[in-house]
Chains A and B, each alone.
Chain A
Amino acid sequence: MWDQILQFLLTGVTLGSTYALVALGFAIIYNASDVVNLAQGEFVMLGAMSAIALSAGEGLALPLAILLAVGVTLVVGLMLQRFAIAPAKGITVVGTIIITIGASIFLRGLALLLWGKDIHALPHFSGETPLRLGEVTLLPQNLWVMGGTALLVLTVHLFFNRTLVGKAILACSCNKTAAQLVGINVGRMLLVAYGLSALLGAMAGVLVAPITYTSYDAGIMLGLKGFAAAVLGGMGNPMGAVAGGLLLGLVESLAAGLISSGYKDAIAFVILLLVLFLRPSGLFGRATAERV
Chain B
Amino acid sequence: MKFTQLISSIACAGLLAWAAPSSAADTIKIGSFLAVTGPASFLGDPELKTLQLYVDEINQQGGLLGKPVELIHYDTGGNAKEAVNFFKRLVKKDKVDIILGGSSSGESLAVMPLAEEEEIPFISMAGAVKIIEPVQKWTFKTPHTDRMAAAKIYEDMKRRGITKVALITGDGGFDKSGREECLKLAPEYGIEIVADESYGNKDTDMTAQLTKIRNSGAQAILNFGFGTGPAIVTKNVRQLGIELPLYQSHGVASKKFIELAGEAANGVRLPAAALLVPEKLSDDDPQKAALLAYKQKYEAAHGDVSTFGGHAYDAFVIAVEAIKRAGTTDKAKVRDAIEQTQGLPGTAGIFNLSATDHMGLGLDAFKMLQICGADWVIVDETAEGAGLAAAGGDKNCG
- A residues in contact (CB < 8 Å) with B: 4, 7-8, 11-12, 14-15, 18, 117-119, 121, 128, 130, 132, 137-139, 208, 211-213, 215, 218, 220-221, 252-254, 256-257, 261-262, 264-265
- Distance between Cα atoms of A149 and B263 in the complex (Å): 27
Please name 28 pairs of A and B residues whose Cβ atoms are closer than 8 Å in the assembled complex, sorted by A.
Answer: A4-B212, A7-B208, A7-B240, A8-B208, A15-B205, A18-B204, A119-B231, A121-B231, A128-B235, A128-B262, A130-B238, A130-B239, A130-B241, A132-B241, A137-B240, A212-B232, A213-B231, A213-B260, A215-B228, A220-B202, A256-B199, A256-B209, A257-B209, A257-B212, A261-B198, A261-B199, A261-B208, A265-B200
User: 6 new A-B pairs (CB below 8 Å) besides A7-B240, A119-B227?
Assistant: A4-B211, A12-B208, A119-B231, A121-B262, A211-B235, A256-B199
| Cβ-defined contact, A208 with B204, below 8 A | yes
| Cβ-defined contact, B228 with A119, below 8 A | yes
| Cβ-defined contact, A7 with B211, below 8 A | yes
| Cβ-defined contact, B231 with A117, below 8 A | no
- Distance between Cα atoms of A119 and B228 in the complex (Å): 7
Judge whether B197 is part of the interface by a CB distance below 8 angstroms: yes
- Distance between Cα atoms of A138 and B238 in the complex (Å): 11
| Cβ-defined contact, B208 with A137, below 8 A | no
| Cβ-defined contact, B205 with A211, below 8 A | yes
- Distance between Cα atoms of A265 and B203 in the complex (Å): 10
B residues near A12, Cβ cutoff 8 Å: 208
| Cβ-defined contact, B207 with A7, below 8 A | yes
| Cβ-defined contact, B260 with A121, below 8 A | yes
| Cβ-defined contact, B208 with A256, below 8 A | yes
In the complex, per-residue mask of B20-46: 1 if CB is within 8 Å of any chain A CB, else 0: 000000000000000000000110000
Judge whether B330 is part of the interface by a CB distance below 8 angstroms: no
A residues near B259, Cβ cutoff 8 Å: 121
| Cβ-defined contact, B256 with A119, below 8 A | yes
| Majority secondary structure, B binding face | helix
By beta carbon, the residue of chain A nearest B168 is: A261
| Majority secondary structure, A binding face | helix
- Distance between Cα atoms of A271 and B259 in the complex (Å): 38
- Distance between Cα atoms of A265 and B199 in the complex (Å): 10
A residues near B171, Cβ cutoff 8 Å: 262
Q: A119-B260, A213-B231 are in contact. Are A257 and B205 (CB under 8 A)?
A: no
Q: A137-B240, A211-B204 are in contact. Are A128 and B263 (CB under 8 A)?
A: yes
- Distance between Cα atoms of A11 and B262 in the complex (Å): 21
Question: Of the candidates A139, A215, A221, A254, which one forms a contact with B239 in the assembled complex, judged by CB atoms under 8 Å apart?
Answer: A139
By beta carbon, the residue of chain A nearest B231 is: A213
- Distance between Cα atoms of A118 and B304 in the complex (Å): 14
B residues near A257, Cβ cutoff 8 Å: 208-209, 211-212
Interface size class, chain B: 20 to 34
| Cβ-defined contact, A8 with B239, below 8 A | no
Q: A121-B260, A137-B239 are in contact. Are A253 and B232 (CB under 8 A)?
A: no
B residues near A132, Cβ cutoff 8 Å: 241
B residues near A213, Cβ cutoff 8 Å: 204, 228, 231-232, 260
Q: A137-B241, A213-B232, A261-B198 are in contact. Are A14 and B260 (CB under 8 A)?
A: no
Question: Smallest Cβ distance from A11 to chain B, in angstroms?
Answer: 5
| Cβ-defined contact, B204 with A117, below 8 A | no
A residues near B262, Cβ cutoff 8 Å: 121, 128
- Distance between Cα atoms of A8 and B240 in the complex (Å): 12
A residues near B208, Cβ cutoff 8 Å: 7-8, 11-12, 252-254, 256-257, 261, 264
Question: Smallest Cβ distance from B260 to chain A, in angstroms?
Answer: 5
Q: A130-B241, A213-B228 are in contact. Are A11 and B207 (CB under 8 A)?
A: yes
Question: Smallest Cβ distance from A88 to chain B, in angstroms?
Answer: 31
- Distance between Cα atoms of A119 and B360 in the complex (Å): 34
Question: Smallest Cβ distance from B47 to chain A, in angstroms?
Answer: 16
By beta carbon, the residue of chain B nearest A138 is: B239
Judge whether B282 is part of the interface by a CB distance below 8 angstroms: no
Judge whether B4 is part of the interface by a CB distance below 8 angstroms: no
Question: Smallest Cβ distance from B112 to chain A, in angstroms?
Answer: 28
A residues near B60, Cβ cutoff 8 Å: none
By beta carbon, the residue of chain A nearest B42 is: A117
Judge whether B61 is part of the interface by a CB distance below 8 angstroms: no
A residues near B209, Cβ cutoff 8 Å: 256-257, 261
Question: Of the candidates B42, B205, B215, which one forms a contact with A11 in the assembled complex, judged by CB atoms under 8 Å apart?
Answer: B205
- Distance between Cα atoms of A261 and B212 in the complex (Å): 10
By beta carbon, the residue of chain B nearest A15 is: B205
Which of B197, B211, B215 counts the most chain A CB atoms within 10 A? B211
